[in-house]
Amino acid sequence: MGAAALSYKIAIASSDGKQIDETFGSAKSFIIYEVTDGVYRQAEERIFHPDKIRDETAALLNRCGSSGGCGDRAHGGCGSSAGGGCSGQGDLSSKVMLISDCRCVVCKKIGFHIQKQLERKAISAFDVSCSAEEALDKITFYYSRIDKHESLRG
């Protein structure tokens, strides 16, 4: 039997699908590419909905003080050692959660705070200024060499 195909996802911040022209903070959506055995294909677009996030956060805040809510330290509330507070994810960005199943994200610029959040989720961050195709070619080449434990030199 042959080895199982290695598959992963790459999130791209692009306004037109051609150029990496969005910063992580300004990106309204991410184009998700699925990579299998070094070959990538566009799989989906994930749209960031800040209104939906606000509504979910408001619903959680309304539970504060009730049994199992934020005031309930025994069940992971704001004051518990479990952390997470009202949002359940601590200080984790909603955009980071949106791409949490991706191996990496490619943007024009990514701030330090978000880079640290991505690191905690084991998501590599690349801030580049090039075409999406060029970025995907380079990243899939990089990961194919890394996954095979091959040198990047030569």
119 assigned to some structural domain: yes
Closest by CA position to 48, among listed 32, 29, 20: 29
Contacts (Cβ under 8 Å, ≥6 apart) of 109: 23, 24, 127
Query: Mean per-residue pLDDT for 125-135?
Result: 96
Two structure tokens written together for 59: 């619903």
pLDDT at 59 (0 to 100): 56
Question: By the 8 A CB rule, do 138 and 131 touch?
Answer: no
Question: By the 8 A CB rule, do 48 and 98 touch?
Answer: yes
User: Residue 147 above 60 pLDDT?
Assistant: yes
Supply the CATH number for residue 58's domain. Answer: 3.30.420.130
Please state the pTM of the whole predicted model.
Answer: 0.73
Cα 97 from Cα 74, distance rounded (Å): 25
88 assigned to some structural domain: yes
- Segment 103-121, tens digit of pLDDT: 999 999 999 999 999 999 9
Which alpha helices (DSSP H) does the chain contain, by range? Answer: 50-62, 94-98, 112-120, 132-147
Cα 51 from Cα 27, distance rounded (Å): 15
Question: By the 8 A CB rule, do 46 and 30 touch?
Answer: yes
31 assigned to some structural domain: yes
36 assigned to some structural domain: yes
Query: Mean per-residue pLDDT for 71-80?
Result: 43
Query: Mean per-residue pLDDT for 27-48?
Result: 95
153 assigned to some structural domain: no
Can you give the residue range of the structural domain that contains 131?
A: 7-147
pLDDT at 6 (0 to 100): 81
User: Residue 128 above 60 pLDDT?
Assistant: yes
Query: Mean per-residue pLDDT for 131-141?
Result: 96
Question: By the 8 A CB rule, do 32 and 11 touch?
Answer: yes
Three-state SS at 46: strand
pLDDT at 129 (0 to 100): 93
Average pLDDT, the chain: 80
Binned at pLDDT 50, 70 and 90, residue 60 comes out as low
Q: Give the count of domains, the chain.
A: 1
11 assigned to some structural domain: yes
